[in-house]
Every structure is written in C-alpha cells, then in structure tokens.
Amino acid sequence: MSRTVRNVEVALRRAWHPLCRSSEVTERPRAFTLMGEHYVAYRVASGELRVIFGRCPYRFAPLSLGAGEGNQLRCAYHGWVFDEQGHCLEIPSLDPGDTLPVRAKLSEPFAVAESHSMVFVAPDDPLTPLPTLKVRRLVDILVDTRCLRTKSADFDFGLSI
C-alpha cells in the first residue's frame, strides 16, 4: 500500500530544508514560505543571520513589513520592538513603567544554518546534523549531464555547491 507524501507532512518538520540563498538575506526583513509556514529572514547589524516565524505575536502582521533597527526588529503595525533573541523590548502604546507581556516574544524554528551559500531551516528538532554536501560546482554538473555544452563560458549561478 502506498500513500502520497506531501511537502507539509509533519514528519518533514524534523528535517533540514533549504530556505533561500544566503545572498538573498539582508538587513531588510524578507518573507519566505516553507512547508506552508511563513518565515522572515534578516541580518542584524553584525551580519548574523536571523530566521523567525513570519507573524508578529500581537496581531499577526507580516514581520517582513517591519524594519531592522541595528540588532532589533520593529513590527510595522503597532511598532513593537524585538531584540536578537526575539524578546519584546518596547510596546509604544504602553505607559512608562507598564510591564511587557511575557508572551510578547517572536517564535523561531528549532535550528537555522548557513552552508554552501544557502540558508537551511529545521522547523523542529532535526533528526540528523545538517549534511555536508560533497557535490561539485553546479556548472560542472550541468556540463556533465549535457545541459550545457562547454565549460568555456563563465557561468555564475551565485551558488557554490
């Protein structure tokens, strides 16, 4: 008996998935979709990569509309500000001295890694470490499989695998 495995299968949450190219991630938050879920990737001031689930914990605004402010991220809707660990630092509508809600925190996937000029995400605890890919450059593969006729042209796919 066989069954169809879809790309939103729960079991796949414990595997590594490519999210985007490293070069696609800048200080400006950018939206991606993986396994039917929304993610936002951006870089903090040091250049370090951050990947979080793409909705604000308050009213679920897309965080890709927000703005990076150094090591912080400001939601575009009501202006909540989150630090590098996803903790809320500021809620503009609160009075001075008011307590920030404990649940005001960004959610993030279990693991994120950059390798081979790509960003990989494991939504839940991955069953294996991120595999080390031992493949040749993409252009060599395309030549060998006759997708390209020659290596003489200087192709740059922006991908080092």
Per CB under 6 A, 143 contacts ligand FES: no
Q: Which is nearer to ligand FES, 59 or 151 (CB)?
A: 59
- CA distance from start to end of the chain: 37
Find the shortest distance in angstroms from Cβ 58 to ligand FES: 4
Per CB under 6 A, 59 contacts ligand FES: yes
Q: Which is nearer to ligand FES, 85 or 117 (CB)?
A: 85
Written as six digits, the tokens of 22 are: 């490293």
- The amino acid at residue 85 is Q
Q: Which is nearer to ligand FES, 39 or 120 (CB)?
A: 39
Per CB under 6 A, 56 contacts ligand FES: yes
Per CB under 6 A, 58 contacts ligand FES: yes
Residues of this chain that bind ligand FES (CB under 6 A): 56, 58-59, 61, 75, 77-80
